[in-house]
Amino acid sequence: MMVQGGGRPLTGWGRYPVVVARHRRSEDLEAVTRGATLSRGLGRSYGDASLPGSSDGMVAVTTAADRLRWFDAERGVVRAEAGVSLATLNRLFWHRGWSVPSSPGTQQVTLGGMVAADVHGKSHHTEGCFGEHVRALRMRVADERILEVSEENEPDLFRATLGGMGLTGHLLEVEFHLRPAPSGWVLAESQGYGDLESTVDALRSAGPEWPHTLAWLDLLARGRAFGRGVVERGRRAEPGEAPARPPAPRFPPPIPFSLPLISGTTMRLANIARYWSRRRHRRGIVHPDAFFYPLDVVGWVNRLYPRAGFTQYQAVLPTGAGVEGCRELLDIMVRRGAVPLLCVLKDFGGEGKGMLSFPKAGLSIAVDLPITERTQGAVDAMNDFVAGAGGRVYLAKDTLTRAEHFRAMEPRLPAWEAVRRQWDPETRIRSALSVRLFGDAT
Amino acid sequence: MKVLLVGATRGMGRSLARLMAERGDRLFLLGRDPDSLEATAADLIARGAPSPVGTALCDLEQSSGFESALDAAWLALEGVDVVVVTAGLFGTQEALEADAEFRQKVLAVDFANTIELCEQVRPRMLADEGGTLCVFSSVAGDRARKKVVLYGAAKAGLSRYLEGLDLTCREDGLRTVLIKPGFVRTDMTAELDEPPFAAGPDEAARAALRAIDRGTPVAYVPPVWGLVMLIIRWLPTWVLRRTNF
C-alpha cells in the first residue's frame, strides 16, 4: 500500500489549487478506503473536488482497483470496481457491440468518478446522466460499514451519492447498464454558424434528430463574430456504413512535462483555424475517440495550460433564459477580464435522479479560464447572474465559487445535506470542495 | 494459446493475464488465496477470456504442492503452451535484515522454490514438444546495490538459472523468457520512493507479452530499463559504495 507519510503536492486537472496531501493506492479497495477521508480516481475534476479537506486527511486512490466483477452479455449489465477507467471499458466493450452510456468528454475518468460527479456528455438530451444507468453501488460509509446501495436498498443514500462528489461514502463497486452500439464507429456531421444565435438554434434543432450533439464557440473573436461556432452532431454508425473491423484502440502519447503553450494568443489562432476549417458542412465516419474525446488526443493535455493553472466555468441556464441569457453571461465574463480559451455549449434534457446532479433542462456553457488575479472576480460576477437566472454551476469543474452563491443556486442542497448528516454526522469524509462550499471544518 | 499463470491475481501478473484474456487466450491460474483467484478469474472472463478460467491453489512457500497444482493445470488445459511465473516476495533491505524468518521466506520463495517450480515445469513441457516458460526476475539481480542486497541476491541467482535453462533447453523446444522489470507501480513497491522511469503495470505487461510472443530470452520491461541497467552495471564500485540507491 502506498503511504505518503509526509504528503505530496496533489492537484485536480486544472493544477490549481495545490494541496500537500497524504494519499495511498492499492488494488485492495476495501483496505485502502478503511480510515480514509476521501476517495480519488484519475483526478479529472478541475478544482478541489478530489483534494482532501484537511492536511491530516488520507486520500484513497482507487485507480489500481480495477477488476470487473462480472459482465452479463444477455442484459448488457456490468459490475466493476470503482477504479476501472472509462477508457478500459470502451476498449473492452465497443468491439463486443456495447457502449457505456452518457460518456463525458474524456475517457480518462474512473467509474467511481463518473458516479460521484454524475457525469453527462454529448448525449445528455437523449440519455441523461450516467447515474440514470446505474443499478447499484457498493459503498464504504463513514462509520466503516460496507453496504449495497440501490433504489431498493437505502434509496436516499443512493440518490445522494449520484452527483454527491464522493462525500457520502467511498465507492467500491458500481453496477450499471451498457447500451447496445451497432458499431464502434461514429457517423458525425459538423457545420459552422456565423454568430451565437444561429449556433444555439442549430444546436437545439439537432437534438431531436441526433443522439449526440455539441457546439463549440469562438469567444476570442471580436465584434459580430463573437460567439460564432461549430455544431457537431453524431450517432453510432450502422454496420453497413462503417468499416467492418472495430476501431483500433488509441494510446495517445503523453506530454511528458509542463509545456505552457496555451495562451490567449495561441488559442485565438487555434479557434480561428478550427472555425474556418469546420465552417462548411462535413459528414463522415470517424473514430469514436475523435468524436467523443477530442481532448484526449494527447495524454496530460493540462500540461499545455498556463503554469498558474486553470479552471473551467460550467453553468446551466434554464431554458427560459434563452440565447439572451447566454450572451449576457458571456459578456460578463469578458467584461470582467477573464480570457475564455475554449467554450462548449450543450443543450440539456431534464434533471436526473441524483440529488445534487448538475444538469437540468436548459443550455450548458463551459469555458476554460486561466487562473489570473481577475478570474475570481469574473466567477463571482457570473455566479451572481447565474443564481439570479435560476441556473447552477457544475461542481466537477468548479474551483472558485463561493458558498453563498452555491447555496443560492441550489435549493436542493438542504435535502442532500440532511442525507449526508444522517450517514456521516461528523463529516469524516470531506474534501477541499466541501470545506469551501459546505462549511466543513478543515 | 493455452497459458498457465502463477501470480496473476495482483500486479504485473494481473495486467499480463488481462492482455491475454482480451485476445482470447485460454487461461489457468495458480495462487494462494481462493477468493482472489475466483475474483481474478471472473475479471478475466468479463474481459474476454474463454470460459471457464480454471484455478488451483498453489503457494510458492510450499514446494510440496507444486506437483498437484501443475497436474490440475495440465489436465484442465489439455497441455500448456506458456507458463508465466510473476509471483514472488519483496522485502526492503531493512526488513530482511531485521527478521530472520521473513528473510528465509523471501530467499526461499524468490530463489529455491521458484527454481523448483521451473524444474517441475521443464520435463512436462519437453514431453509436450516444448513451450514457453516466462519467469519474472528483477533488475535488482543485475548488480549489487545497498538497497537490495538480499532481494537482489535471490533474483540474481534466479536470473542465472533461467539463462542456463535457456542455454540447455531451447534446442529441444523449451523457450525460456527471463523478464527483468524495472520499478513498476504495484502494491509490492507501494512503500518505496519512486525513482525516475517508474512505469505502470500495464505498460510493463505489454512489453512482457511482446517478449513471450517472440521468445526473447531476456527482456527488460519497460525496455528503457535495459539502458538504465547498462549504465548501472558499468558504474565503478566506488560509486555504488558511496551512493545509496
User: What value of ipTM does the predicted structure carry?
Assistant: 0.93
* pLDDT exceeds 80 at position A103: yes
Select the CATH number that applies to the domain covering B2-242 from these four: 3.50.50.60, 3.40.1710.10, 3.40.50.720, 3.30.60.50: 3.40.50.720
Comparing CB atoms, the residue among A2, A67, A78 nearest residue B190 is: A2
* pLDDT exceeds 70 at position A22: yes
pLDDT digits (tens, 9 = 90+) for A354-402: 999 999 999 999 999 999 999 999 999 999 999 999 999 999 999 999 9
Please indicate, yes or no, whether residues A93 and A158 belong to a single structural domain of this protein: yes
Contacts of A69 (CB under 8 A, 6+ apart): A79, A80, A81, A173, B39, B42, B43, B46
Please indicate, yes or no, whether residues A106 and A165 belong to a single structural domain of this protein: yes
* Domain contains A434: no
Which class for A14: exposed (0-12), middle (13-18), buried (19 or more C-beta within 10 A)? buried
Q: What residues of chain B lie within 8 A of the CB of A24, using their CB?
A: 190
* Domain contains A245: no
Query: Residue A298 — pLDDT band, cuts 50, 70, 90?
Result: confident
- Is residue A115 within 8 A of residue A86, CB to CB? The reply is no
Rounded CA gap, A302 and A295, in Å?
10
Please indicate, yes or no, whether residues A287 and A398 belong to a single structural domain of this protein: yes
With vertex at residue A122, the alpha carbon angle to CA A408 and CA A416, rounded to the nearest 5 degrees, is: 30
Cell of B225: 530499463
Could you tell me which residues are beta bridge partners of residue B45?
none
Q: Which residue has the cell 480519488?
A: A40
* Domain contains A370: yes
Please indicate, yes or no, whether residues A288 and A402 belong to a single structural domain of this protein: yes
Average pLDDT on A137-163 reads 98
Please indicate, yes or no, whether residues A26 and A110 belong to a single structural domain of this protein: no
By percentage, how much of chain A surpasses pLDDT 70? Answer: 99
Look at A92 and B48 and tell me if their CB atoms are within 8 Å.
Answer: yes
Q: What residues of chain A lie within 8 A of the CB of B48, using their CB?
A: 92, 96
Q: What's the pLDDT score for residue B28?
A: 98
Considering chain A, what is the average pLDDT of its residues?
A: 94
Average pLDDT on A399-413 reads 98
Please indicate, yes or no, whether residues A145 and A270 belong to a single structural domain of this protein: no
Look at A27 and B11 and tell me if their CB atoms are within 8 Å.
Answer: yes
Please indicate, yes or no, whether residues A53 and A152 belong to a single structural domain of this protein: no
Rounded CA gap, A10 and A19, in Å?
5
- Is residue A122 within 8 A of residue A188, CB to CB? The reply is no
Cell of A324: 439572451
* Domain contains A85: yes
* Domain contains A202: yes
Q: What's the pLDDT score for residue A6?
A: 58
Q: Which of B70, B66, B212, B15 has the alpha carbon at shortest distance from B54?
A: B70
Distance from CA of B177 to the nearest CA of A (A): 26
Residue after which a domain boundary falls, among A140, A161, A181:
A181
* pLDDT exceeds 80 at position A5: no
* Domain contains A31: yes
Rounded CA gap, A11 and A51, in Å?
7
Please indicate, yes or no, whether residues A264 and A285 belong to a single structural domain of this protein: yes
Please indicate, yes or no, whether residues A175 and A301 belong to a single structural domain of this protein: no
- Is residue B232 within 8 A of residue B143, CB to CB? The reply is yes
* Domain contains A423: no
Determine the 3-state secondary structure of A356 from DSSP: coil
Which residue of chain A has the CA closest to B197? A256
Distance from CA of B39 to the nearest CA of A (A): 7
- State the 10-residue block means of pLDDT for chain B, 245 residues long: 97 98 98 98 98 98 98 97 97 97 98 98 95 98 96 98 98 97 94 90 97 98 96 95 87
Rounded CA gap, A396 and A45, in Å?
5
Structural domains in chain A (count): 3
Q: What are the φ/ψ torsions at residue A322 (nearest 5 degrees)?
A: 65, -170
Q: Which of A401, A326, A317, A387 has the alpha carbon at shortest distance from A359?
A: A317
Please indicate, yes or no, whether residues A273 and A363 belong to a single structural domain of this protein: yes
pLDDT digits (tens, 9 = 90+) for A53-95: 988 899 999 999 999 999 999 999 999 999 999 999 999 999 8
DSSP B57-82: E--TT-GGGHHHHHHHHHHHHTS-SE
Q: What's the pLDDT score for residue B41?
A: 98
Please indicate, yes or no, whether residues A43 and A78 belong to a single structural domain of this protein: no
* pLDDT exceeds 70 at position A3: no
Which runs of E-coded beta strand occur in A273-380?
282-286, 310-318, 342-348, 362-370
Any CB–CB contact under 8 A between A64 and chain B?
yes
* pLDDT exceeds 60 at position A2: no
Rounded CA gap, A15 and A260, in Å?
12
Contacts of B174 (CB under 8 A, 6+ apart): B122, B125, B126, B130, B131, B132, B133, B165
Query: Residue A246 — pLDDT band, cuts 50, 70, 90?
Result: confident
Please indicate, yes or no, whether residues A262 and A356 belong to a single structural domain of this protein: yes
> Residue A381 is part of which domain span?
186-238+254-407
Rounded CA gap, A170 and A162, in Å?
12
